[in-house]
């Protein structure tokens, strides 16, 4: 099939590369000329395991092309995915400017019947707006569908190639047939393609993210309760998560959720509800808990060192909002680092993937280290913010030798209190007994 993908960010690039891998002719378009020039040379602007090889291979065999010419993408495709960003607007609602801008460009350059798919996460009713926009500019038939994306950054290729399910909101037999065929190679092991009406598909994506964010905020509050009662959140998590009705995933407490999706999608769903006169109380609480959680480790640091941190140095391990990505959008590490800087501290940071992103955010205000141990030199404390594998089993003697004082704040509960006690560390985990 001839497939076009408009927007080549985390989602669009993965979608384009994976659809090329299954034999389709894919043309990807983006307004970012620098990004497109790099992609033409197989240079991937993001860190995503397996993606570079996929892009390289499919460019080489001629199944994957890149352009800044959006009308060309429209003309040369029968199916067009819209995968541009939907950032939060000032009132929290999803800003549809990019999506509708693409719909206008597609409408203006339609030369035949097309299937147009909203892949971006968009509020209920957006596919209808996209259809209206295209139809107001073209008389060719258009089948607008909703196909929300559930991939996780850090495992995006794997998730797209072997999805738990594919959700397709369609309104015509033609759209159902074309998209069913396109996705058939990805569900050969029996995971379902779930066809539904468009509004249900649009809402499904928000509800999935709302459910996951709710689990995180709930467990972050449970961690607080554990600290108040002397319980251990790791044991509570195991005890609760082994109930089949609950399941073990997404029950790890941490420094608060971040990333490009949960924060904005929770806001957008609250806003969609408000627009219809409904107060989505649980989600407002989920958001409130998350904002407070991002400040928790600053409070622990202040409790240990006092409010004035000038003259103190902090090493921060982990900047990405989660392991496996270089994405720092809404990362709790930003709140932590800005808080430390505002209190006069010096900050030395390490991350296996996100240092280039961090440089754009903090400039000269922090010091960057390519090797994790180098960040520790002379530090009064280490703060672990992201659960990268390489942080899990450090050489604690070496860590201690490098630091001015052996104090560790562990927002991911990577270490064992007993071992930290033996090694004479002061150790602050989350929702478990501290070693002081």
What is the contact surface with ligand NAD in residues (CB under 6 A)? 6-12, 29-32, 35, 70, 83-86, 98, 101-102, 120-121, 149, 151, 153, 260-261
Catalytic-residue membership of 28: no
Torsion angle of C-alpha atoms 340, 346, 349, 355, degrees rounded to 10: 90
Residues pairing with 144 in the sheet: 116
Of 234 and 261, nearer to ligand NAD (C-beta) is 261
Of 81 and 409, nearer to ligand NAD (C-beta) is 81
Question: H helices then E strands: how many in the chain?
Answer: 17, 14
In 3D space, the residue among 338, 347, 348, 342 whose CA is nearest the CA of residue 308 turns out to be 342
Using alpha carbons, list the distances in angstroms from residue 31 to 55, 63, 68, 103, 417.
19, 21, 5, 14, 50
Question: Which residue in the shown chain puts its C-beta closest to ligand NAD?
Answer: 9
Least gap, CB of 70 to ligand NAD (angstroms): 6
Token pair for 28 = 């990807």
Least gap, CB of 103 to ligand NAD (angstroms): 10
Catalytic residue among 18, 28, 145, 261: 261
DSSP string, 317-348: E--SSSTT----TT-HHHHHHHHHHHTT-EEE
Of 32 and 72, nearer to ligand NAD (C-beta) is 32
Using alpha carbons, list the distances in angstroms from residue 181 to 149, 160, 205, 229.
17, 15, 22, 55
What element of type H or E holds 73?
helix 70-75
Of 272 and 313, nearer to ligand NAD (C-beta) is 272
Least gap, CB of 325 to ligand NAD (angstroms): 8
Of 3 and 375, nearer to ligand NAD (C-beta) is 3
Least gap, CB of 47 to ligand NAD (angstroms): 12
Least gap, CB of 106 to ligand NAD (angstroms): 10
* Active site members: 261
């Amino acid at each position: 099939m001839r497939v076009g993908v408009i927007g080549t960010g985390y989602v669009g690039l993965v979608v384009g590369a994976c659809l090329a891998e299954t034999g389709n002719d894919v043309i990807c378009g983006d307004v970012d000329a620098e990004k497109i020039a790099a992609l033409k040379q197989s240079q991937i602007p993001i860190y995503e395991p397996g993606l570079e090889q996929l892009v390289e291979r499919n460019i080489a065999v001629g199944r994957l092309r890149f352009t800044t010419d959006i009308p060309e993408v429209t003309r040369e495709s029968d199916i067009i995915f819209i995968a541009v960003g939907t950032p939060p607007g000032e009132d929290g609602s999803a800003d549809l400017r990019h999506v509708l801008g693409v719909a206008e460009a597609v409408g203006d350059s339609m030369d035949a019947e097309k299937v147009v798919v909203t892949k971006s996460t968009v509020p209920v009713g957006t596919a209808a707006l996209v259809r209206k926009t295209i139809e107001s500019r073209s008389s060719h038939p258009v089948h607008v569908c909703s196909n929300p994306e559930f991939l996780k950054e850090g495992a995006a290729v794997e998730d797209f190639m072997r999805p738990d399910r594919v959700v397709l909101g369609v309104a015509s037999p033609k759209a159902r047939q074309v998209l069913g065929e396109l996705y058939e190679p990805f569900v050969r092991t029996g995971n379902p393609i779930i066809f539904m009406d468009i509004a249900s598909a649009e809402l499904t994506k928000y509800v999935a993210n709302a459910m996951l964010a709710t689990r995180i905020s709930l467990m972050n509050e449970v961690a607080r309760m554990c600290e108040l009662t002397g319980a251990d959140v790791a044991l509570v998590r195991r005890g609760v998560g082994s109930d089949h009705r609950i399941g073990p995933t997404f029950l790890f407490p941490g420094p608060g959720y971040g990333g490009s999706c949960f924060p904005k999608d929770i806001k957008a769903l609250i806003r969609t509800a408000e627009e219809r006169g409904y107060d989505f109380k649980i989600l407002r609480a989920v958001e409130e808990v998350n904002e407070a959680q991002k400040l928790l480790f600053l409070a622990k640091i202040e409790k240990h060192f006092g409010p004035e941190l000038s003259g103190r140095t902090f090493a921060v391990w982990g900047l990405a909002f989660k392991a496996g990505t270089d994405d720092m959008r809404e990362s709790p590490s930003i709140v932590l680092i800005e808080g430390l800087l505002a209190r006069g501290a010096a900050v030395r940071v390490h991350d296996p993937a996100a240092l280039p992103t961090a440089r754009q955010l903090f400039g000269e205000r922090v010091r960057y280290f390519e090797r994790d141990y180098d960040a520790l030199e002379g530090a009064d404390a280490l703060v672990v913010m992201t659960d990268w594998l390489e942080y899990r089993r450090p050489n604690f003697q070496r860590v201690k030798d490098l630091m001015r004082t052996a104090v560790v704040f562990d927002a991911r509960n990577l270490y064992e209190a007993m071992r930290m006690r033996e090694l004479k560390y002061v150790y602050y985990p989350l929702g478990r007994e501290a070693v002081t």
